[in-house]
Structure 1
């Protein structure tokens, strides 16, 4: 599905954030990317939909080299790759439904996007996404009246409204309390198991990563230290990653 081939990323002639990373992500996986702050986790995730372009190497999505795509082709690819950020990225003064409908803008013409014109099917998808994340009853609530965990689940619903094949999530529970974080991770797991959507998530908490992810990629100083099934990773592997 996504192939990262010998990728380097360097910001303004500094030490490379990624150094020769090669990885393959497959359909239906739940993959956790772990490592210290500054290890390259966020950079790696952002290369997967070309929010960050590699300085060297290639990222291939469904057989297409992202660096060779036109704006329209990249836009089409990005519709199938949802991205959930730590900061929620919601419009606080808009309703939950209006926020989720933003996920449909990639399917709209520029004129319809500008005026916020959506089809009946768009509303149905948005409502289904909210039911999936357990917030169907909040559909007309304003964004600024939600808790942090609820806001993150609305962000996930917005991504689901894109009808993605893969969801990327960058530290989605880092700013949440333990209970809210569990609800969010349970939501991701349910989406993976029920819909077969691949989940690739950056996590700072190793216990959460081990509890939810089928496979773990350990990044250290921009390089892959390990890439294994979660059950095969030892405590020594984890200690070496954070040493």
Structure 2
């Protein structure tokens, strides 16, 4: 699945203090396993849904959640803005993958990753600049990419505007941001259709974002 004979090899790159892009972190076999799991999670109940904002807008990327269900702007144990079903559990192997990813990027892992947000982008989907700020934990956010290349815009902690850095995230790439960059604004201004590795059999882009909630076992707080 790797692109062969590139003129300039892609190297690990710092996007900010505590933020790093690690190209090709997921091996092809791991990408296939994660993709198959995403397809299972996408099915009902508590499956892939459109996310509606309080102002009446609709996000163009569709989403399914594991562990805790995210909705604008909070968390619940059921799909309160969808079919009302209990959220699907966070698989231990995915939590462990999140911990390994965070450590690979130089972050300590004190608590297990217990939230996964799986976003599916078709060719026209976008994600506006936002911060991941609904968790109580300040543990690093882990982001894994599958399928089509996405342009990832990583900004600053003060404003949605510049300065920011655009980086292309290919299938298997890892981004981790924590520490001083934990609340940095970030988004996806575009997806590059037709760039997914053929072996995946995926049209579109999947982003799997892993977080540590900091919530109690049975409720928030």
Structure index of larger Rg? 1
- The answer to which structure, 1 or 2, has the higher relative contact order (CA under 8 A, 6+ apart) is 1
Per the TM superposition, whether the score is higher than 0.5 is no
